[in-house]
Structure 1
Amino acid sequence: MVGRHSKEKQVGKLSEYTFVFPQKPEPKTWKQIVWDGRDSKFFGRTKQSWWYLFLFYGIYFIVLFSLFWACMECLFLTLSDRYPKYQCEDSLIGVNPGLGYRPMPDNVKAAAMVHFKQHNETEMDYWTSRLDSFLEPYQHSLNSHSDEGSNMMQCKFGEQVPEGKACIFDIDKLGPCSPLNRYGYNDSQPCIVLKLNRIYGWVPDYYDNVDELPENMPQDLVEYIKSVPKVERRQVWISCNGIYPADNEATGPFGYYPSRGIASYFYPYTNVKGYLSPLVGIQFVNPKRKRNIFVECRAWAKNIAYKGGSRLRMGSVMFSMMLD
């Protein structure tokens, strides 16, 4: 009985409550949305609410920025402006330098073709101006008296390059492939300039022993190496030839300047200020006219892997030359 009586009293109390149903909010004008004087709210918040909001986000972004700054500082402690953190075998580039060439056209679709008409000044100027732009840093290096220039020195075979120094590459030694001779384009004997891509700390393993030359090395390069004094055989050798038999007939002889290789004193590359990659000028001495000649140039060293073909090429470069 007691339990029933207490339940009836609770029901009676609940029946006395009035339930307020949600009401449709009173529409506000734009002026009231910006500042509601009845509640002292600015854009729906009181001064205290805005202060708490700015305080929270201020602390949040300060902590977030501090964590980001600490992470970046820890990262930069492991890096150096002088050398990469991961080198040679540990790097993404690896230890097999690519071979590049200049000049290259603006048109990506024709990126492997050098085409011009004989005695057409406009077309020849297009190619020579691109080579001028590429070789401009070399010209500046020879005439520079800046701090970068002080790091550079003339080098010879058999001499040790001091630490912090780099060897000058004199573009005048490109001979017929130099800017002074307009790279041979005016004489219908055009030049292509080759360079090995830089890999920090990489040192070539040279073919400097004439008894250890590979069997697939071109015979003209073998004979050239044998004719070079022993002290000058420490070079990354360069050879060029037509890809197909018809191309070999059309290329004619090649001229190599300043030599058929890249000297050992340019290696290793250690990011010395003012360092410029050594070059080899390849001249078409007597190319056949009106023929699209496909040419492959290859770098030779024991630790340069070679792979031909149009895809995933290694240690070589392919381009075409057409002289109308």
Structure 2
Amino acid sequence: MESRVPPVSQTDRMVKRDSYQHGISQASRLDSKETVSEFGENSIASQEDKCCSVQRDYLLDREIKKKIPPFLAKLGKNRLITLVAWQFCFITSLALLFSCCLVTYLELVDPFVPRKTGGTVPGLAIRPQPVDLHSTLISFRHGGAGNWQILNDRFKEYLKAYSFGKRPGGSIVCNWKTQLTSTERCHIGNRKWMALDTDVPCTGAEKFGMYHGQPCVILKMNNVFGWEPQPYYNLTEIDNIRSMPTFLKGYIHKYWNKYCRGKGPAIEEKCPQMRMVWVSCEGETTADTENMGPLHYGPWQGFPGYHYPYLNQQHYLSPLIFIQFRGITPGVIIQVRCKLWAKNISHDPRNPRKGGIHFEILMD
């Protein structure tokens, strides 16, 4: 007998399909339950973080809206426009505040008088400055094949300000009784700079002595606002200064005999021509003094006191002293120290710039 498969009715097919779908749904439910059981904690934590971030953003928006003025908030609901407008107003306010403070400060500060004055001892400066601005050594080779041209050009550049007509206004002809004000300055004539006792004066035509091996150096006092010298009027007081060189004491005695002696007791006691800040230059050692040779000072061996006080006058010119080395030894570095002498000028052996200057000179 042949076995025959009974025919499957349509009803049986529907029952099988429903049961199959029911099984699939149950399996998916079980899988979802297992997934929740395994990763439930992570999903809950992520949902809490999202809630917290939403709350923070909401609170931040509320704080920003509180700080923004109402008229800026009305510009629109666009957050970018509102923030840009707020930053513009903030920066503008800071700029106005800074401008007001700056204008107030400038109104309170005097443009000509420093806020702090006094307590400073003037020193000396040399011209021309050395080729190396960080050094105090003036070095050059004299003669026709020398390299003194750079120093010669610096001499001329510095002395241009002392030419006639270069500094207008406020210049007066001073004498020993002149007392300067903040609107006046003493006229400085350059005719007295030329020494008539030598064939090689300190002039541009003679290359300031560098061509002939008799170099010149300019000394000037540093400007200290309001400082005025207290001169030595009494010769006995000068003789009692142990640190003052003997050659300077002898020069002051000759100067006093020429301008003050026989002018009456009142003049001799306080001679106007003694209103000077005296200058002395000598070698740091005995060997330096010997190699330096004799020095010539012009027009005086000091700065006249009527050029002071310096009150920041317009177009002010400092008085100058030309020192000339007339017997310098070639090929030797010579250390020179110059000092200022007045009652209110002190010196420090460890600091030559206090009341003076230290420099070196080398001529090949």
1:126 corresponds to which letter in structure 2?
I
**SS state at 1:129 partner:** helix
> Matched residues in 2 for 1:113 and 1:120: separation?
22
Alignment of 1:1-324 (within 5 A): 21=47, 48-89=78-119, 95-108=120-133, 111-139=135-163, 142-144=164-166, 149-161=168-180, 164-175=183-194, 176-213=201-238, 214-228=241-255, 229=259, 230-309=271-350, 311=351, 313-324=353-364
Q: Any idea what SS the aligned residue of 1:203 has?
A: coil
CA contact (8 A) 1:78 1:85 kept: no
Task: Give a deviation string over 1:1-60, Cα, whole Å, max 9, x none.
Answer: xxxxxxxxxxxxxxxxx97846xxxxxxxxxxxxxxxxxxxxxxx972222112211221
Determine the C-alpha separation between the residues in 2 that align with 1:167 and 1:237: 19
Consecutive unaligned residues of structure 1, counting only runs of 5 or more, are 1-17, 23-45, 90-94
Return closer, same or farther for 1:283/1:86 CA change in 2, 3 Å cut-off: same
CA distance in 2, matches of 1:161, 1:108: 34
TM-score (norm 2): 0.70
Cα deviations across residues 97-132 of structure 1 (Å, max 9, x unaligned)?
A: 1211112223245x2111222204551212111111
- CA displacement at 1:64 relative to structure 2: 0.9
CA drift of 1:166 comes to 0.3
Q: Which amino acid aligns with 2:112?
A: R
- RMSD (Å), alpha carbons: 2.3
In structure 2, the residue matched to 1:33 is: none
Instruction: Tell whether the 8 Å contact from 1:98 to 1:314 is kept in structure 2 after alignment.
Output: yes
Structure 1 stretch displaced more, 206-215 or 311-320:
311-320
Contact in 1 for aligned 2:339/2:356 (Cα 8 Å): yes
Q: How many residue pairs align between the two structures?
A: 273
Give the corresponding residue for 1:37: none
| Distance of 2:315 and 2:90 partners within structure 1 | 46
Q: What code does the residue aligned with 1:164 have?
A: T
Q: Gaps (5+ residues) in structure 2?
A: 1-42, 51-75, 195-200, 260-270
How far apart, CA to CA, are the structure 1 residues paired with 2:106 and 2:182? 25
Determine the C-alpha separation between the residues in 2 that align with 1:105 and 1:122: 16
Deviation readout 1:247-283 (Å, 9 max, x if unpaired): 1111111100110000011100011111111111111
Instruction: Supply the distance in 1 between the matched residues of 2:88 and 2:181 (Cα, whole angstroms).
Output: 54
Q: Which protein has the larger Cα radius of gyration, Structure 1 or Structure 2?
A: 2
Percent identity over the alignment? 29
Q: Secondary structure at the match of 2:78?
A: helix
Residue aligned with 1:262, SS: strand
